[in-house]
Amino acid sequence: MAAEPHLLANAIRALSMDAVEAANSGHPGMPMGMADVATVLWTEYLKHDPAAPDWPDRDRFVLSAGHGSMLIYALLHLTGYAHPTIEDIRGFRQLGSPCAGHPENFLLDGVEATTGPLGQGLAMAVGMAVAERHLNAEYGDALVDHRTWAIAGDGCLMEGINHEAAGLAGHLGLGRLTVFWDDNRITIDGATGLSTSEDIEGRYRAYGWQVVRCDGHDMADIRRAIDEALADPRPSLIAARTIIGKGAPNKQGTAATHGAALGADEVAAARKELVWESEPFELPDEIVQAWREAGRRSEGAHADWRSRIEASDQSGEFRRRMAGELPEGFSLDAYIAALIAAPQKLATRKASELALGAINELLPETIGGSADLTGSNNTKTKSQNPLTKEDYSGRYIYYGIREFGMAAAMNGMALHGGVIPYGGTFLVFADYARPAIRLSALQQTRVIYVMTHDSIGLGEDGPTHQPIEHLMSLRAMPNLDVYRPADAVETAECWELALRDANGPSVLALTRQNLPQLRTEAGPNLSARGAYRLRAAAAPRQAVLLATGSEVEVALGVADALEAQGIGADLVSMPCWSLFDAQDPAYRADILPQGVLRVSIEAGATLGWERYLGLDGLAIGLDRFGASAPAPNLFKRFGFTVEAIVPKILERLNK
Ligand SMILES: Cc1ncc(C[n+]2csc(CCOP(=O)(O)OP(=O)(O)O)c2C)c(N)n1
Ligand SMILES: [Mg+2]
């Protein structure tokens, strides 16, 4: 390499301070502090090909400390990715530039994960490392043999999720995962000593990690630490002692460099300090050349890999899986036909297990799991063996009681590609996983959340375990499909829809209690419409009943009672709001006709049903916490019975 490595690192520093200065917003401290570590990693170790960012066997790099986004933008630009261009970097944090405030996986190739919510990047890296080992077990070293690297800050290592993620990584022995800790002892409020005094290294050792320490500004020492990490079979934490904002002579080492532009004077002083004479956003040719050359380091490895996959008899299947395409002809039609032929009275969680029995046979890419509720979530099917440190080929992960860690790891697995993760917990504990569900939605990952015990219908466990506002709060999340199927057929339909949506997550809200099979006729996937008329009014229509999940059965009883009095009522099952909202206006108008009373029946918060009911509709729901008792008693107590609902409807109809 012609240019000195420290000059290469200074290119990162210059671009970072210039971009933050131009935007007058952003975080120069972290990229300037980690420039030396990142330079060693990206010019000497990282296996990637900027000309082919989707090479499946590339190393994965996750900037968990996402506020330092200029670090990855600089690295991608310098190593020769098509984007970001220098113009993109000039537009840092502005509309239209892919260089968003925090790195977004969908805006730039080479950004493997959206990061910014501290700690989640680290947990996604764990998921990526799981996917890598799993695919390695299935396809062998010839096709899958790469590493996962992450940079975490003090903040990432304070967030609770790092405990869940690191515990899982240690347990699964993910030796190809290396996390750099940007040990600068500074966060926004000042010195880390203000808020923490724990022994992070001891904690990681206790998780079963190797811990190595280095001087994050001494390139030889950084190399030594990485070599030690590579030689050890455990996941590694490299504690790199750094100075935040290194190079800014008056502000370095202080929180002043964390989240604001350095200011013209300090930038000028930094240019002097770094002996950096180029104008803002300009880079000396020899430095660009050296970076580009480093970016081409793995071209040979990539070419070798290409010849291996071309020679492999598994190439078609491997490529299909990495592209996220389902096998040709995939469908659950045969399974659904069997249900129609022999209707089943089942809890939808059980129906989900039966559907999974078919799915896991048809789709070798699924990896199931649960946060210690396997028997309750019904997430494991007979053919699935556990994925363990000894056998990564298993297709079931015992995540332990780590809902957030599970969800974030599933994001990492989905982002890695080649696998479709699904994982279970109780719907009420969606709250524990919620920040990662949000990142599934934002990152457009196909992660399927199997959330059982979806209402007071779970019974005796009581209000701590009974979701109330959860369905609505999840429905409020953009790009998340929330499914609440009413019977075994809808459950299978919803599973199929969730699997077919390669660009977003799904939540399946499933019951603990048994439900009759309401769908007994063969036909198309009606859940795909989001809502459909399960039974049309017989008598002249005066009401439309909208119900989801277990309350569709109740609504059927209500419709029967109304019809018996000559009051026609449509029964609409509404397993998925977002899919219904996406239907054409004519379909929606047909399902929700004007001039009749609209009634919603759902054992959860009513907030939001006005969207379909109008202001003069009737929402039957639950806007308080539940109680501990057998489910039938709770349904009675809280008014989810024909006897309680019919008089309310009659009153509104002035009967
Ligand atoms: C979950 C979460 N909480 C809070 C923030 C806001 N925030 C961004 S950076 C930061 C401090 C992080 O400190 P550290 O990781 O040490 O980064 P450094 O200041 O060293 O760059 C905080 C609190 C966030 N991004 N994510
Ligand atoms: Mg810090």
Give ligand 1 pocket residues (Cβ under 6 A). Answer: 29-30, 65, 67-68, 116-118, 153-156, 159, 182, 184, 186-188, 244, 258
> Counting atoms of ligand 1 from 1, which one is nearest the CA of 120?
1
Q: Closest Cα partner for 327 from 378, 275, 274, 366?
A: 366
pLDDT tens for residues 74-83? 999 999 999 9
Probe target for ligand 1 pocket from 122, 182, 188, 439, with the most ligand atoms within 8 Å of CB: 188
DSSP 465-525: T--SSHHHHHHTSTT-EEE--SSHHHHHHHHHHHHH-TTS-EEEEE-SSEE-----S--S-
Measure 29 CA to ligand 2 centroid, in angstroms.
9
Whether pTM exceeds 0.85: yes
The active-site residue out of 21, 403, 490, 496 is 403
Rounded (10°) angle between helices 5-23 and 29-40: 150
Mean pLDDT over 427-450 rounds to 98
3-state secondary structure of 564: helix
558 membership: H or E segment, kind and range? helix 551-564
- For the stretch 297-332, pLDDT in tens is 999 999 999 999 999 999 999 999 999 999 999 999
Residue to probe by mutation, ligand 1, list 32, 34, 67, most atoms within 8 Å of CB? 67
pLDDT at 2: 60
Distance in Å, CA 154 to ligand 2 centroid: 4
Tell me what the pLDDT averaged over the chain comes to. 98
Ligand nearest to the CA of 257: 1
Please say if 293 is a catalytic residue.
no
What is the Å distance from ligand 1's center to 196 Cα?
14
pLDDT tens by residue, 469-510:
999 999 999 999 999 999 999 999 999 999 999 999 999 999
The Å distance, Cα 188 to ligand 1 centre, comes to 7
What digits encode the pLDDT tens for the residues 226-236? 999 999 999 99
Give the integer Cα–Cα distance in Å for 229 and 180: 10
Q: How far is the CA of 35 from the centre of ligand 1 (A)?
A: 18
Q: Which atom of ligand 1 is nearest to the CA of 152?
A: 15
Residues with CB under 5 A from ligand 2 (ion): 153-154, 184, 186
For the stretch 365-387, pLDDT in tens is 999 999 999 999 999 999 999 99
CA gap 283, 263 in Å, rounded = 20
